[in-house]
Amino acid sequence: MARGAKLEEYRNAYYELTGKASDNARQLAFAGIAVIWVFKSNAAGPGIPLIPKELIWAGLCFCFALGADLLHYAYSGAAWGIWARKQERKGLGQEDRVLAPKWINWITLVFFWGKIIAVAAGYGFVTRFVAKLL
């Protein structure tokens, strides 16, 4: 009796879990920006919001995460689309089996992990700020 699962099952789990992680990171980045907005003041004058200095880095992390999220999907879509089109131009059909180059996901992974780390860092800054208030 065979043990484990098919490689395809592991790969599908990877795609599902990283997709959910990306969705959660995006939502948490927007929520983090909302938290920063709650702590703003109008000390600079009416209509001029002032964000506490401690939260500036958090805001930058959340904005970086959202930018990395966009670039993650934009690059990935472009890279795979261009690579697939090159295979078609070589005469390969939709049912032909080919090996993708190992490098094609490297930049995608940099953007993926960059956004995850940026969201975590942003919440680290928010946590430190809130802890000082207590």
Q: Which of 29-38, 49-58, 94-103 has the highest mean pLDDT?
A: 29-38
- pLDDT > 90 in the chain, percent: 72
| Dihedral pair phi/psi, residue 72, rounded to 5° | -55, -50
pLDDT of residue 49: 73
pLDDT in tens, 11-37: 899 999 999 999 999 999 999 999 999
pLDDT beyond 90 at 45 = no
CA angle 63, 75, 13 (to 5 degrees): 90
- More confident: 8 or 43: 8
The pLDDT-based confidence of 41 (bands split at 50, 70, 90) is: confident
pLDDT of residue 2: 61
User: Can you tell me the mean pLDDT for 71-90?
Assistant: 94
pLDDT beyond 60 at 86 = yes
| Dihedral pair phi/psi, residue 89, rounded to 5° | -65, -25
63: left (phi over 0), alpha (psi -120 to 50) or beta: alpha
DSSP state of 128: H
pTM attached to this predicted model: 0.86
pLDDT of residue 64: 98
How many C-beta atoms surround the C-beta of residue 104 within 10 A?
13
